[in-house]
Amino acid sequence: MNAFSKMTIAIAMSAAASIATAQESGHGSHGSQDAHAAHSGSQAAAPAELTDGEVKKIDKEAGKITLRHGELKNLNMAAMTMVFRVKDPAMLDQVKVGNKVKFAADRVNGAVTIVQLATAR
């Protein structure tokens, strides 16, 4: 490989690294909160808005709960009934089938997971 080819590759790699750094720091997101959240990685995310739900099923052995829920804006998910993992299995001891709940869900290791759960008052 000649010196010109090496220099071209070095410049291209430097430019790619600069773009990746700008995107991670939010400069490439045009101020979009969704784009910034997607790049938040290890940064603490803002608390998700609580959503209303109703407990349909609890599977303590699997650490899962089935909820009929309203829209999950932070996940761009419409209202539906679905199974969620729970961040802490002790959450399942706080609720019973039929309870109305308030909860927050987020993606944890690629799975939609309940990160906050309380019975509605």
Q: What is the pLDDT of residues 71-108, one digit of tens each?
A: 999 999 999 999 999 999 999 999 999 999 999 999 99
CATH class of domain segment(s) 51-119: mainly beta
- pLDDT more than 70, % of the chain: 60
For residue 32, is pLDDT > 80?
no
CA distances (Å), origin 60, targets 22, 70, 94, 113, 116: 43, 23, 11, 14, 16
Distance CA 60, CA 82 (A): 16
Q: What is the pLDDT of residue 49?
A: 83
Nearest residue to 64 (alpha-carbon basis) of 19, 114, 14, 24:
114
Give per-residue pLDDT as tens, 22-31. Answer: 444 444 444 4
Six token digits for residue 4: 């010109």
pTM: 0.61
Query: Which three-class secondary structure state does DSSP give residue 28?
Result: helix
CA dihedral 95, 101, 102, 105 (to 10 degrees): 70
Q: Give burial (CB, 10 Å; 0-12/13-18/19+) of 103.
A: buried
Q: The tokens 């944890």 sit on which residue?
A: 108
Instruction: Show the 3-state SS of 65-98.
Output: EEEEECCEHHHCECCEEEEEEECCHHHHHHCCCC
